[in-house]
Every structure is written in C-alpha cells, then in structure tokens.
Chains A and B, each alone.
Chain A
C-alpha cells in the first residue's frame, strides 16, 4: 500500500470519514483501513466512489541479484539459465544488476524543498450505478497559503461503474514544513443526492541542502566567495548546477574547474555527485564592474553580492532547484584614507632605486588636505622630499602617487614608513607593511 494512499470512503446516505492521519510510509495503516472498512461498506452496498492518491516520484530501475557460478561447479549452467529466463535481466548481459525494468515508487519517500511534488489522483466508481456531476478538487495547504493544483476545475458529467477520473498534479515545493494535500470530491448520486467528501494527506517537506558562505576580501577590490554545500538528504545527489548570480555591481568568475584542460575539469574530479552528508566547496571570484570599480574603494557597509542558484538531480532525473536569497557582505572598512598599491615590482636590485605607485583614496566624508611624510626604516630608504603637500582630496576622490625608494638590505623587505597627515584635523595615518619586495644582489650571480 502506498504512503500517500488513502481510502476515501464514502457512503450513500451518510458521509463517513476514516479520520486517521496519514503517516508517512506506514503502509500497514492504509491497508488496514481498507481491510476493515471496505467489506463492511461493500456488503451493505454503500460504497460508491473510491478515491486514492499516490505520489509519483520517478520510477526506479529494477535491480536483480545475479547468482553465478563457474561452469564446472556443481550447479553448472542452471543459474545462468535461470537468469536468462528472468524477464528483468538484460539479454546478452544477464549478470548486470541494473536492469531496464521500471518499477513504480514503492513508498512515499522524502520530499525536499525545491523538488516537484507530483501525485496521481484517482477517483473510481466502485458501485454499479452511474454517478453524475463529479467534481474533483485538489488543494495544497501550506503553512502560508493554499494552492489549487487540479488541472481542470470543471465537473465531469457522469461516471459509469468501473470507470475512473484521473488527474496528475504537479507542484514545485517552495516551502518547508507541513503540507496538506486536500482532495475534495463532490458528486450527485443516481437518486439525485448531492454528496461531498474530503480527504487530507499530510506530508513534510524537508530541507535538502545546507549552504554556508564566507567572503574573503582581497586587497584589490575583488571579493572571493566560498560556498559550502552539504547534501543533507539520504540519497546521492547530482549537482547539475551551482552558480552564483552576481548583483549588478559585480562580474563573477567561477573557480571550480581546473584550468589545464580544454573544457576545464571540475575541481571535484570524477565525482559528479554528492553522497549523503557530503559537503562541497565552491569558490567564486567577484570583480566589481569597471563602472563601479572606481567607487569600490569607498563602498561602505552592506553590499549585495548576488545569490547562489543550485540545481540538482537524483534518481532518473528527479529535479530540484533552490536559490539562496541575496548574499550580503560587509565591505571591509578602510578607515578615512585608503592607501593601496597600483604598481610595485616584485624583485628589485640591491641599492638600486625603484618606483612604486600608490593610490590614495579618501574614504571619509570630508575633504582632506594631506601631507606625505616618508620615514626610512632599517632597510627601506625613500627618495625624494618628505613632508610634501599632496593637496586637497575631496570625499571619494583618489590620487595616484609615484614614489621612488631603494633597499639597502637583501631579501624580502617590507615597505613601510609612509605617514599621511590630514592638516585639517591634525590626524596622522601610518602605513607600514604596505607590501613586500624581494631585494636581490645583481652581482651575486657573477
């Protein structure tokens, strides 16, 4: 007996409801009902219409258990013969377990958010009289709304004995929690009595995925998004698509393929599916679009990054799709003034001047009048005049500043010692460890 199966019992003179709740997967319950009620009703000739509902998940492929032995073993070829006779095996390859025979779903199974709930609704005339004006309505009651799922809302003129009304309903599940499928049947009997009965089927919609995200801010204006997706269902899941739909400010690059090949092999290798409880990490790089890039330095507060769109498939293409809501991130704070490097060589020669270009952005709300001081450190020596005026910088504006310096020590050296002073507020901002540069001795190779 099916999980969603219920006996819609219905009597001529009076309405009788078997009011017991449907319990997921409990087949005994259903058949028990049938067993108890139906003989009684049928004997008394009261039963007219029989309604039943069955959830239509994808059919499954029948697996047979091949039993084989060597020809010289005792049973000889008899096992092989058995398998060849078995209609469910594949001719020519009998020992393949996975046959081609389709079997109907044997239990209600789980239904997950984003999947499609399909159901067969059958109303059958069990009596020997003609029933008229049958109207079958299927509504789905969720915690927030009630949806009408019936394909047609027009009444069927008449239903002869042993005939049935069929309806297959589909609904993409968009809410988590308890759902109740309400089937209502109204009809007129031979004798002109208008009758009506309803039946409720309750099921829970579960959460299929656990998604966690984390943002990493690069020193450049790029943002990296890491998304962890865990399969919290009980069956393997094929992740057909996990993509980030960026907000209008960003362009997105997916970093989930290994770039070596032509099509780019997935970072997950051959494992195209996700076992129950397994987690995958997806990485995305978001770059602000050029038109927004200028402002990127001064973006503050919460910005919308985009949303994840996830499509998965399970058995025989049973499909599910979920989207996260807009992912938001807090823009990193740069303080009043942001100093970033636009250009810096990675390797320089010892005691040889080299150039860097600094970008100074005013992230504050006020205009600044800046003075640049350059303090030498043990290894870094700045060239040029310290304490020079940079002029006024209005909010959001930036200026690029070429600077020259040299290092007196070999090895990886940290560029430090820049001081910016805002003469309006008499505040000094110190910039140390701005970047590293590798200092080599050009003569050492000789």
Chain B
C-alpha cells in the first residue's frame, strides 16, 4: 500500500504509506450462510479507517526498536485512529507516536497503546487508582527509616494529590492525549509511574536495571533535536529530524543516571527537610520562602514548591540504596530516571503542583546543609498524629523561628500607623523602604573586557564608564510581545486614544503581521496607512512611512530589488534616515552586492558614528565583515575602538561578534 509518489513533483511530496485498516462490522464479502445480515445505518459511518503512515509515525510501542512501516501498521488495526501523514525518511520516527496520537478520535485502544509505551515499571500504575491505597503502606514503612510522623502526613497529602493526578491521567488517556495536553500530562505520567513502581513488590534487580538503562531510550525518549536549532551535530540519524514536544525534550538530557546519585541518596535520606515539602502543601509558596529556612537553601525559586515528591521518593529509597540489599531497594533507581528531567521541567511549570516534577539532584545540598531545623521539626511532630494540626504547629514554629523584630524606629512608625484612625496612613518618605535593584553578579564593562582581550591593556585603560553603583532604581520596559493577536489588539485600542499616531501604529500592526508571515493582512494595514496619510496631506514623515511599508512588502515577496529601490527613494527624501540607509544596505547583500553593501554601511558609521554605532547596524556590519574576508577580526577591532569612545557599559558587545 505504499503510495509514495515520485519525488519529481515540484512541491515536495510527502511520502505516504497507506494502510487500510478495514474493520467493518458486517463482513459481507464472505457470505457463507444463506442469510447475511446487513445493517447500514443512516448516519455517517466510520465504516473503515485508512491510516497513512509516512515512515513509521504511528507505531505502537512494541516495534519501537525495529519499526518498519508495515509492522507498525499491523499493530494498529485500530478503528478509530487517525492516520498520520508524514514525511518518511527518518527511520526512527516510531517514537513520535507518543506525541502524535490524535486525540479526540482515539478510543480506548489508544489508551492501551499509550500504556504499553510506558516502561515496564509504569504499566500497572497508570490507570489504576487503587494503587494508591498501597501507597500509604509504603510510606508508613518509610517512616521507620527516617522521620516518622511527618512522613505520614506528607504521604497522605501527597496521596490525595497523587490520586487526583492519577485520575486525571486516566481520563486523559481515555479520551486521548492532544498535543497540548501531552505536555502537562507528561510529568503526571511520570509521577504515576513512579508511584506504581514503588508500590509494587517488584524484584529488586528488575527495577534496578530499569533504572540503570538511560531513560532517554525508553519509549518516550524523544530526540531533543528539533527544538534547538543547532542540532545538526547530532549527525546522520534520521531521528534527529524528528519532532519533539518540549517537555519530552528535557527527558533525555537529564535522564542518565548519574554516578553520584547513590551517594546523593545516602547523604540525603536521613536528613530530609520534610519541612520544605510540607510547607509547600500547607502554605502558599511565597510564604515558604519566609517561614522556612530550608526553602532559602533550595537552589531555585521554583523548586521550593515542588520539593515534596523527591523527598518521599528519596526517603523511601535512600536507606535501601545506601545499604544494598535493604528490603525496600526496589524503587531506588527509578526515581533517578523519573526525576531526572525535572530541573528543566520545573522551569516550565513553576506552579506549585507538588508531585509533578522534582529537581532531584539539585535538591541534595539543601538538606545536607541544614539538618538543624529539621530536628526541631521532628520534635514538634512527634506528638501529634493529625496531619493538619501538625501542619499548623509546624508553620507556627517556623514563624517563630524567623520572627522579624522591628527596630525601635520602625516600631514607632508601625504603632502610629496602627493607632491612627480615620485618616489615611501617612509615613514620611525617608522612613519607607523603597524598592531597589540588587545585582547578583558584578556588572563588568563588556566593552572594556573586549578591549583588554583584543587591543591590549593600554588601550583598555582609556576606557572610562559610569558604573552602575549610582543607579538605585530602574524601570522595566515593556514585556516582549508574546502574543501577536494580543499585540495587535493592544495597538488597536491605542489608536483610539492616540489618533495622531495612527500612521505609525498601523504600520506597526502591519509589521507584526509581516513578522508572522501574514502578508495579505499586513498589506491591508499598509493600505490603511496610505489612506490615513492621504487624509492628512503629505507630510514628509508620512511619505517615508508609506515608502518603508512598501519596501517591506517587496521584501516579503522576495523582491529585494524593488525593496532596495524603495529604501533608496526614502533616502532621496530623507538622506540621513538611518533605517533606510541600513535597510538599503541589507537589501544589497541579498542582491549579491556585498562590497557595495559594506561600503554603504562603513561609510555611514564613519560619517556619523554617534548615530550609526547602533547595535543593529553593527550586527549587520560585522556579519558582512565575516562573510567578506579573512580580515574581519581586524575590522571588528576597529569598530571596537570606535565603540569604546562613545558607548556606555550597556552596550551589547555581542553585536561586535568578537568573542
């Protein structure tokens, strides 16, 4: 059923293997009896299902390793599956399956498939909520090893969480994983997996071996190649060309069981900062950082709230790891692989949903460094069995521990504010703490560093800049335009309030669309600009704007010649227009006129360095230097000298491309 077409066609042909999965309820082709029943129903019938498979897109887990298209197709005699049309070529596409399945159409069959894809350990846990009951037991056992009371309650809570997770997980799978869902599902999956693996009285060695083999190769080990552009070094493997969901991406990166892991566990097990974990449940995450001394130790802000899982994990397994042959050895290696990807994931999902992702390795130093508060906590804990009471007392203790004592002055102010009635509180400005900037790392002068490196110390000595020390306050600029649609809407609303900027704003919207690639809409906006300009009568600035827009449209149509002409026309009106100058030079390069382009830019920079020593211009200039000849370094250094006597330390040295 291979219908791969000859690649001679002009547009690239996706090679498609079509597998006809015919599964009809009545099979009339073999009417062996005298009475065949046929029941055509009137509505749209999903009588049969084709599945197109380019390469091995839709493979089921079984053939992960040796997937040939036909095999994979055999496996998915699944009525409801979507076909996937894919560019065939990469032989290991099979893994993509995890992401690919589509979803609203998948039925239970899909679920099975997804389940099957999980590594052995995860299989059982996935859809069974019941599993969690055993969980409690395990955790109770854990108690014995380390920190008794806390554990219980952690676990019960965790329990609840986990249960929820599992449920959602199951349902997700039931109706299918849509790509977007997948992301969030991923960690959950892992969680479940891990839970189950712990619960099962699995033979030690089995799990161990499972843990040892790099998880990256386990079914959802998607190649991390697609997301980052410089993936090419990965080499020939067709797999490198594969699609990867971002969340999956992280998996292979961190999954390798690190040799130090066992050590980490041993160090860690006994002195687990349960508080860390605990607070994340009982208190808002922001509170943790205040009340909980351990939280400060945790490596990243995101990690405090997500700490819990590893703890449970660690504590349950740690002792067994340190003393090989221990009774609970089973779960040990799995968490390593499961939690491996966490650091990255935690960035992606900073919300405090505890069991999701856990920075296992990074977690380590914190507990080791601060055993102290833990003991305290333990003392508090020993009395009660009620988790909530314990939670309360715990945070109470923490609060006392960290109590803030106001100075005499402050106290006065506070009292006066508190006792003041009816009036709005007024505090003298100099008594107020103003928000400020804190620099974590020393701010150097990048320009100077470069000069030291390339021009020598003597030259570098001449470089003088204002340091950042005098700056106390700063204002953040606008956020990146994250969403194009939102950006456009914002512009529209601005136009209502700022009609005099209509021309610029419409042009801005047009450029946004150009950036997305929606050239038709962009042109519509540019037409609006032209209308607006005509209405207002011709101002030189508006004419420039119109010409610029035209040039951009030409540019997007790959018509660099016309684009260049338009920019040149702008220059006739406004010879000093830096944008037009620069853009014209850029167009020249695309026209294959490197020398002219370079000449133009160099001329600009020499004539009016104040104006043209701009990041964007320099980027272009250095890029062209590199393209032009082997002497680019010297030329760049010349630029550096020019920069050194004009620009401040906020100068983006990257644009010189010296390093």
A232 to B245 CA separation, bound complex (whole angstroms): 8
Contact A327 B16 (CB under 8 A): yes
Residues of A within 8 A of B557 (CB): 317
Interface status of A21 (Cβ within 8 A of chain B): yes
Within the complex, the shortest CB–CB distance from A414 to chain B, in Å, comes to 9
Interface status of B533 (Cβ within 8 A of chain A): no
Within the complex, the shortest CB–CB distance from A116 to chain B, in Å, comes to 8
Residues of B within 8 A of A1 (CB): 626, 657
Residues of A within 8 A of B617 (CB): 87, 101
Contact B24 A333 (CB under 8 A): yes
Contact B242 A325 (CB under 8 A): no
- Which of B37-45, B203-211, B259-267 lines the interface with chain A? B37-45
Contact B632 A34 (CB under 8 A): yes
Within the complex, the shortest CB–CB distance from B227 to chain A, in Å, comes to 6
Contact B519 A313 (CB under 8 A): yes
Interface status of B392 (Cβ within 8 A of chain A): no
Interface status of A354 (Cβ within 8 A of chain B): no
Contact A90 B508 (CB under 8 A): yes
With a 10 A CB-CB cut-off, give which of B477, B507, B657 has the most chain A CB atoms: B477
Contact B47 A217 (CB under 8 A): yes
Residues of B within 8 A of A73 (CB): 475
Contact B504 A96 (CB under 8 A): yes
CB < 8 Å: which of B3, B11, B236 contacts A309?
A: B11
Contact A21 B233 (CB under 8 A): yes
A47 to B293 CA separation, bound complex (whole angstroms): 63
Residues of B within 8 A of A104 (CB): 586, 589, 619-620, 623-624
Interface status of A187 (Cβ within 8 A of chain B): no
Interface status of B231 (Cβ within 8 A of chain A): yes
Contact A98 B511 (CB under 8 A): yes
Within the complex, the shortest CB–CB distance from A369 to chain B, in Å, comes to 15
The digit string for B40-78, where 1 denotes a CB below 8 A from any CB of A, is 111111111110100001000000000000000000000
In the complex, how many residues of chain B place their beta carbon closer than 8 angstroms to a beta carbon of chain A? 136
Interface status of B202 (Cβ within 8 A of chain A): no
Contact B589 A120 (CB under 8 A): yes
Question: Could you list 9 further interchain pairs (A-B, Cβ under 8 angstroms) beyond the known A168-B592, A211-B85?
Answer: A100-B548, A101-B616, A176-B238, A226-B82, A273-B518, A277-B246, A302-B1, A308-B85, A429-B35
Residues of A within 8 A of B507 (CB): 90
Of all chain B residues, which has the CB nearest A211? B85
The digit string for B76-118, where 1 denotes a CB below 8 A from any CB of A, is 0000001111110110000010001010010000000000000
Within the complex, the shortest CB–CB distance from B652 to chain A, in Å, comes to 11
With a 10 A CB-CB cut-off, give which of A26, A167, A168, A278 has the most chain B CB atoms: A168
Given contacts A96-B508, A317-B555, A334-B28, contact A325 B478 (CB under 8 A): no
Of all chain A residues, which has the CB nearest B549? A100
Interface status of A166 (Cβ within 8 A of chain B): yes
A277 to B89 CA separation, bound complex (whole angstroms): 21
Interface status of B376 (Cβ within 8 A of chain A): no
Residues of A within 8 A of B89 (CB): 175-177, 207
Within the complex, the shortest CB–CB distance from A89 to chain B, in Å, comes to 9
Contact B232 A67 (CB under 8 A): no
Residues of B within 8 A of A59 (CB): 555, 586, 590
The digit string for A48-74, where 1 denotes a CB below 8 A from any CB of B, is 001010101011011001111100011
Interface status of B521 (Cβ within 8 A of chain A): yes
Within the complex, the shortest CB–CB distance from B611 to chain A, in Å, comes to 5
Interface status of A411 (Cβ within 8 A of chain B): no
List CB contacts (< 8 Å) of B375-429 with chain A. Answer: none
Residues of B within 8 A of A217 (CB): 44-48
The digit string for B279-293, where 1 denotes a CB below 8 A from any CB of A, is 000000000000000
Contact A107 B630 (CB under 8 A): no
Interface status of A446 (Cβ within 8 A of chain B): no
Given contacts A87-B612, A316-B556, contact A429 B595 (CB under 8 A): no
Contact B85 A212 (CB under 8 A): yes
Contact A108 B230 (CB under 8 A): yes
Contact A212 B83 (CB under 8 A): yes
The digit string for B590-612, where 1 denotes a CB below 8 A from any CB of A, is 11111100000000000000011
Within the complex, the shortest CB–CB distance from B102 to chain A, in Å, comes to 6
Within the complex, the shortest CB–CB distance from A440 to chain B, in Å, comes to 19
List CB contacts (< 8 Å) of B124-157 with chain A. Answer: none
Residues of B bordering A, CB below 8 Å: 1, 3-5, 7, 9, 11-16, 18, 20, 22, 24, 26-29, 31, 34-50, 52, 57, 82-87, 89-90, 96, 100, 102, 105, 178-180, 226-234, 236, 238, 240-243, 245-246, 473, 475-478, 480-481, 484-485, 501, 503-505, 507-508, 511-512, 514-519, 521, 541, 548, 552, 555-558, 578-579, 582-583, 586-587, 589-595, 611-612, 614-617, 619-620, 623-624, 626-633, 657, 659
CB < 8 Å: which of A27, A216, A271, A313 contacts B44?
A: A216
17 interchain pairs (CB within 8 A)? A96-B504, A120-B589, A126-B629, A206-B226, A206-B241, A207-B243, A210-B57, A230-B243, A232-B226, A240-B517, A240-B518, A333-B48, A339-B40, A340-B40, A427-B34, A431-B38, A433-B39
Contact A103 B87 (CB under 8 A): no
Given contacts A206-B226, A218-B44, A240-B517, contact A122 B11 (CB under 8 A): no
Interchain residue pairs A-B with the least CB separation, the first 6: A335-B28, A25-B230, A317-B556, A313-B517, A24-B232, A238-B517
Contact A328 B50 (CB under 8 A): yes
Within the complex, the shortest CB–CB distance from B218 to chain A, in Å, comes to 21
Contact A52 B628 (CB under 8 A): yes
Given contacts A113-B12, A168-B590, A217-B47, contact A98 B616 (CB under 8 A): no
Contact B232 A313 (CB under 8 A): no
A103 to B652 CA separation, bound complex (whole angstroms): 15
Contact B633 A35 (CB under 8 A): yes
Interface status of A329 (Cβ within 8 A of chain B): yes
CB < 8 Å: which of A230, A234, A328, A338 contacts B179?
A: A230
Within the complex, the shortest CB–CB distance from A183 to chain B, in Å, comes to 13
Residues of A within 8 A of B14 (CB): 211, 322-325
Residues of A within 8 A of B226 (CB): 206, 232-234
Within the complex, the shortest CB–CB distance from B217 to chain A, in Å, comes to 21
Residues of A within 8 A of B52 (CB): 212-213, 324, 327-328
Given contacts A34-B633, A228-B102, A277-B180, contact A56 B590 (CB under 8 A): yes
CB < 8 Å: which of B473, B477, B630 contacts A65?
A: B477
Interface status of A93 (Cβ within 8 A of chain B): yes
CB < 8 Å: which of A108, A126, A317, A433 contacts B41?
A: A433
Contact A272 B34 (CB under 8 A): no
- Which of A2-10, A373-381, A383-391, A393-401 lines the interface with chain B? A2-10
A73 to B472 CA separation, bound complex (whole angstroms): 14
A90 to B232 CA separation, bound complex (whole angstroms): 38
Interface status of A382 (Cβ within 8 A of chain B): no
Residues of A within 8 A of B515 (CB): 61, 98, 315-316
Residues of B within 8 A of A233 (CB): 226
Contact B630 A236 (CB under 8 A): no
CB < 8 Å: which of B20, B505, B517 contacts A302?
A: B20
Contact B232 A435 (CB under 8 A): no
Interface status of A205 (Cβ within 8 A of chain B): yes
CB < 8 Å: which of B9, B26, B100, B519 contacts A212?
A: B100
Residues of B within 8 A of A172 (CB): 12
Contact A204 B24 (CB under 8 A): no
Contact A91 B541 (CB under 8 A): yes
Residues of B within 8 A of A5 (CB): 626-627
Contact B44 A68 (CB under 8 A): no
Residues of B within 8 A of A177 (CB): 89-90, 236, 238, 241
Within the complex, the shortest CB–CB distance from B29 to chain A, in Å, comes to 6
Interface status of A147 (Cβ within 8 A of chain B): no
Residues of B within 8 A of A58 (CB): 555-556
Residues of B within 8 A of A34 (CB): 630, 632-633
A203 to B18 CA separation, bound complex (whole angstroms): 30
Interface status of A80 (Cβ within 8 A of chain B): no
Residues of A within 8 A of B475 (CB): 67-69, 73, 75, 79
Contact B232 A99 (CB under 8 A): no
Contact B582 A333 (CB under 8 A): no
